Amino acid sequence: MFATKRRCEDKYIVKEVEGKWHTVPHIIVDENFFHERSQRKLEGIINYILIRHEGNIEKFSVSVEKVKDCYNMKLWIWSLLQKSIKELSLIIRRGQHNEVPSDLFSCQQLRKLSLCHFEVKQAHSFKGFHNLISLKLNKVNIATAIFESLISRCPLLEQLTVRNLSCIDHLHINVPKLNSRIFEVTRMSGELKSITTFSEPQPVMHCKHGLCAELDTSWTTDDPGRRFWRCQMWQRGDCGFFQWFDPEIVGRPKELINRLRSQKKALENRLKSQEAENWVISTRACELEQKLIDANAKIKSLSIMNDVLTEKLKVVTDEQAKSDNHILELVTSNAKLTEQLV
* Length in residues, the chain: 342
d(CA 73, CA 62): 11
Closest by CA position to 216, among listed 205, 225, 203: 225
Q: What percent of the chain has pLDDT over 70?
A: 75
The pLDDT assigned to 71 comes to 83
d(CA 135, CA 152): 12
Mean pLDDT in residue range 221-227 = 85
pLDDT at 48 over 70: yes
The pLDDT assigned to 284 comes to 87
pLDDT in tens, 272-314: 889 888 888 888 888 888 889 989 999 999 999 999 999 999 9
When pLDDT is cut at 50, 70 and 90, the band that residue 216 belongs to is: confident
When pLDDT is cut at 50, 70 and 90, the band that residue 66 belongs to is: confident
User: Lowest mean pLDDT: which of 31-40, 43-52, 225-234, 279-288?
Assistant: 31-40
pLDDT at 194 over 60: no
pTM (2 decimals)? 0.52
Pairing between β-strand 224-230 and β-strand 242-244 as defined by DSSP bridges: antiparallel
Name which residue leads in pLDDT, 243 or 16: 243
d(CA 149, CA 227): 13
Mean pLDDT in residue range 173-189 = 56
Paired residues of 195 in beta bridges: 171
d(CA 248, CA 246): 6
When pLDDT is cut at 50, 70 and 90, the band that residue 329 belongs to is: confident
CA-to-CA dists, residue 295 to 268, 299, 308, angstroms: 40, 6, 20
pLDDT at 14 over 50: no
Closest by CA position to 79, among listed 51, 110, 41: 51
Mean pLDDT in residue range 208-234 = 78
d(CA 114, CA 117): 10
pLDDT at 215 over 60: yes
Name which residue leads in pLDDT, 175 or 144: 144
175 neighbors 199 (Cβ within 8 angstroms): yes
Name which residue leads in pLDDT, 312 or 341: 312
38 CB burial (10 A radius; 0-12, 13-18, 19+): buried
d(CA 135, CA 89): 10
194 three-state secondary structure: strand
Q: What does the radius of gyration of the chain's CA atoms come to, in whole angstroms?
A: 37
The pLDDT assigned to 275 comes to 84
pLDDT at 113 over 90: yes
* Segments making up each domain of the chain, as ranges: 11-200
79 neighbors 50 (Cβ within 8 angstroms): yes
Q: What is the 3-state secondary structure (H, E, C) of 277-337?
A: HHHHHHHHHHHHHHHHHHHHHHHHHHHHHHHHHHHHHHHHHHHHHHHHHHHHHHHHHHHHH
160 three-state secondary structure: strand
pLDDT at 264 over 80: yes
The pLDDT assigned to 115 comes to 92
pLDDT at 88 over 90: yes
Residue 290: phi and psi, rounded to 5, are -65, -40
Q: What is the mean pLDDT of the chain?
A: 78
When pLDDT is cut at 50, 70 and 90, the band that residue 87 belongs to is: very high
b/e per residue, 156-180, with b = 16+ CB within 10 A?
bbbbbebeebebbeebebebeebee
When pLDDT is cut at 50, 70 and 90, the band that residue 178 belongs to is: low
The pLDDT assigned to 227 comes to 84
Mean pLDDT in residue range 158-170 = 74
pLDDT at 340 over 70: yes
d(CA 265, CA 261): 6
d(CA 128, CA 151): 8
Paired residues of 118 in beta bridges: 98, 140
87 neighbors 59 (Cβ within 8 angstroms): yes
Q: What percent of the chain has pLDDT over 90?
A: 9
User: Lowest mean pLDDT: which of 50-54, 164-168, 292-296?
Assistant: 164-168
Please count the other Cβ atoms lying within 10 Å of the Cβ belonging to residue 4: 15
Mean pLDDT in residue range 127-145 = 85
